[in-house]
């Protein structure tokens, strides 16, 4: 009988987490869970409702009434808020620049972590985020921490934006990434941090295929144990 693992992939923005997580999930027929999309979704909805993004009680009240669901797909996983597709809307610059503020609110994290743990409880799951190995799945069978230089990550986002017709300079993207990295790793509740037992992979000069092959072979080893 093959064991269905819980795999945690953490790391800073544009380290390649979601791209490789989707490929690896497909290889093993596991569920892929993008926890960043959950933080983005509640941020998007709070903005839509004109709620002050520091008003924790109002946002958590909103979150309790909000259903966030995914439908699988590669390369794009579709995201829905109460049945409305928001896949592209949650990736806007406005959401990107405000999500770390909302993600720092302890009550928001408590609720989303609970939902993430529920999804992952039976294994067969690859979950990506910032605190999966440290907080959401502290007993995950495999923990990966992906990193890459800021320059490389800004360039990746730049190319992504060009494809979508979004015009933001490379300098601005670098700045955005640095600000978000700082906020994510300095917040009080479950900051971005490598778990003690996580395997770090620097993807700066690796291709998507090299990274996903590496992770897939680590999973195979764990399954055989
Ligand atoms: O795709 P990208 O790296 O830009 O970010 P994301 O994974 O979509 O996450 C967006 C933001 O959500 C992060 O910058 C964090 O502020 C927050 N987040 C978090 O706090 N904890 C997670 N497990 C996942 C995301
Ligand atoms: O999920 P996260 O924010 O960590 O990153 P991503 O959205 O998966 O990747 C950001 C961009 O980097 C995507 O456009 C990928 O195609 C690209 N990428 C890359 O060029 N080389 C890698 N080894 C991994 C990702």
**DSSP track, 180-210:** HHHHHHH-SSS-S---TTPEEEE-TT--HHH
Q: Measured from the CB, is residue 89 less than 6 Å from ligand 2? A: no
Q: Measured from the CB, is residue 211 less than 6 Å from ligand 2? A: yes
pLDDT of 223 > 60? The answer is: yes
Which residues 6+ apart lie within 8 Å of 106 measured at CB?
Answer: 56, 188, 189
Query: Is 16 labelled as part of a ligand binding site?
Result: yes
pLDDT of 75 > 90? The answer is: no
pLDDT of 224 > 80? The answer is: yes
CA-wise closest residue to 110 among 42, 53, 49, 46: 42
The CA distance from 186 to 193, in Å, is: 9
pLDDT of 60 > 60? The answer is: yes
Band of residue 170 on the pLDDT scale cut at 50, 70, 90: very high
CA-wise closest residue to 142 among 3, 13, 14: 3
The CA distance from 220 to 225, in Å, is: 9
Q: Which residue has the tokens 């009988």?
A: 1
Express each pLDDT in 133-156 by its tens digit.
999 999 999 999 999 999 999 999
Query: Is 35 labelled as part of a ligand binding site?
Result: no
Task: Report the Cα 223 to chain-centroid distance in Å.
Answer: 24
Give the distance (Å) from ligand 2 centre to CA of residue 51.
31
Q: Measured from the CB, is residue 162 less than 6 Å from ligand 2? A: no
Enter the pTM of the model.
0.95
Domains of the chain, earliest start first:
13-220 (3.40.50.300)
Ligand nearest the Cα atom of residue 40: 1
């Amino acid at each position: 009988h093959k064991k269905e693992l819980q795999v945690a992939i953490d790391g800073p923005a544009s380290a390649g987490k979601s791209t490789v997580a989707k490929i690896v999930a497909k290889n093993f027929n596991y569920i892929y869970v993008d926890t960043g999309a959950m933080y983005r979704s509640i941020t998007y909805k709070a903005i839509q409702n004109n709620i002050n993004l520091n008003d924790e009680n109002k946002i958590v009240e909103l979150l309790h009434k909000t259903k966030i669901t995914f439908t699988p797909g590669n390369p794009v996983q579709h995201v829905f808020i109460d049945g409305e597709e928001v896949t592209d809307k949650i990736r806007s610059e406005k959401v990107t620049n405000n999500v770390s503020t909302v993600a720092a609110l302890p009550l928001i994290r408590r609720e989303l972590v609970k939902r993430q743990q529920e999804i992952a409880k039976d294994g067969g799951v690859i979950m990506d985020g910032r605190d999966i190995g440290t907080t959401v799945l502290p007993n995950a069978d495999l923990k990966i921490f992906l990193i890459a230089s800021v320059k490389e990550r800004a360039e990746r986002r730049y190319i992504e934006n060009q494809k979508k017709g979004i015009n933001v300079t490379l300098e601005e993207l670098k700045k955005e990434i640095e600000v978000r990295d700082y906020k994510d790793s300095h917040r009080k509740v479950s900051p971005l941090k490598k778990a003690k037992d996580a395997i770090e992979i620097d993807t700066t000069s690796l291709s998507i295929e090299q990274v996903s092959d590496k992770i897939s072979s680590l999973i195979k080893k764990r399954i055989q144990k």
